[in-house]
Chain A
Amino acid sequence: EPEVTQTPSHQVTQMGQEVILRCVPISNHLYFYWYRQILGQKVEFLVSFYNNEISEKSEIFDDQFSVERPDGSNFTLKIRSTKLEDSAMYFCASSVAGTRQETQYFGPGTRLLVL
């Protein structure tokens, strides 16, 4: 069964450093998403992406964050200058369509620790 994959599974970085989290969505999916989960808190939406453009973004997704689909398979989240509060589990998801009924399929997550 096709699945969303994410790399790396864990990343430790120093405050102020740039990180790039990578995702490979399911191949025939058209909508891509990033969510994050700070330890002990809710899963929070960051951004959705379709047709090489951001469809929607949350207040969390400020100028320090960017997303890109550099080729036909990868979908990346970049954090330009990490802060301590960026420490979280980051989940990538994808869906065939962007309708409200559509199931979003999640990857296993990247645990980011900012020191």
Chain B
Amino acid sequence: GNSVTQMEGPVTLSEEAFLTINCTYTATGYPSLFWYVQYPGEGLQLLLKATKADDKGSNKGFEATYRKETTSFHLEKGSVQVSDSAVYFCALSERNQGGKLIFGQGTELSVKP
């Protein structure tokens, strides 16, 4: 079945460090790919998405490129801030007509000043 695998956390970085959170997926068709972020005490918010191969999603300095050949959607940011501390979830959606999101296990990011 379809699945999403993320790198294990927690990830601890210093402010202004470069961030990569790896995400790979398994899907039988042509999924859309998403990154959601969960700040402490809050719900999930869409960070960015890409709906077809080679698309790049970007938002708030974060980027991810949909790589069909490697079935990956790695999240990157050039310079993290303390306010980026959160849990990041990679997810896919394949089916139309109210299709579900399939989530990875989440990666906790902690950024120290």
Q: In this assembly, does A75 line the interface, its C-beta being within 8 Å of a C-beta of chain B?
A: no
Quick check: is B61 within 8 A (CB to CB) of the other chain? no
Within 8 A of B (CB), among A96-111: 98-109
The 0/1 profile, CB within 8 Å of A marked 1, for residues 75-113 of chain B is 000000000000001010111111111111110000000
Give the interface of A toward B (CB within 8 A).
4, 31, 33, 35, 41-45, 48-50, 55-56, 58, 91, 93, 98-109
- A98 near B43: Cβ-Cβ < 8 Å: no
Minimum C-beta distance from A29 to chain B (A): 11
Taking a contact as CB atoms under 8 Å apart, the answer to whether B43 and A100 are in contact is no
Structural contact, A98 and B97, CB atoms closer than 8 A: yes
Q: Are B99 and A43 neighbours in the complex by a CB distance under 8 Å?
A: no
A106 touches B44 (CB 8 A): yes
Chain B contact residue count (CB 8 A cutoff): 27
With known contacts A106-B44, A108-B43, A48–B106 Cβ distance under 8 A: no
Which of B45, B99, B106 contacts A100 (CB under 8 A)? B99
Bound-state Cα–Cα, A42 to B93, Å? 15
Please state if A99 and B96 are interface contacts (CB–CB under 8 Å).
yes
Closest to B3 in A: A42
Q: How far is the CA of A100 from the CA of B93 in the complex (A)?
A: 5
Q: What's the least CB distance linking A31 to chain B, in Å?
A: 5
For A100, the chain B residues whose CB sits under 8 A away are: 31-32, 51, 93-96, 99
A58 to chain B, nearest CB (A): 7
Residue in chain B with minimal CB distance to A32: B98
Give the residue name and chain of the B residue nearest to A49 (CB).
B98
B45 touches A106 (CB 8 A): yes
Also in contact, A43 and B44, with CB within 8 A (given A100-B31, A101-B51): yes
B69 at the interface (CB under 8 A from A): no
Contacts of A42 in B (CB 8 A): 103-106
Q: Does B46 reach chain A (CB closer than 8 Å)?
A: yes
**Are B32 and A56 interface neighbours, CB within 8 A?**
no
* B49/A48 in contact, CB under 8 A: no
- CA A4 – CA B45 in complex, angstroms? 11
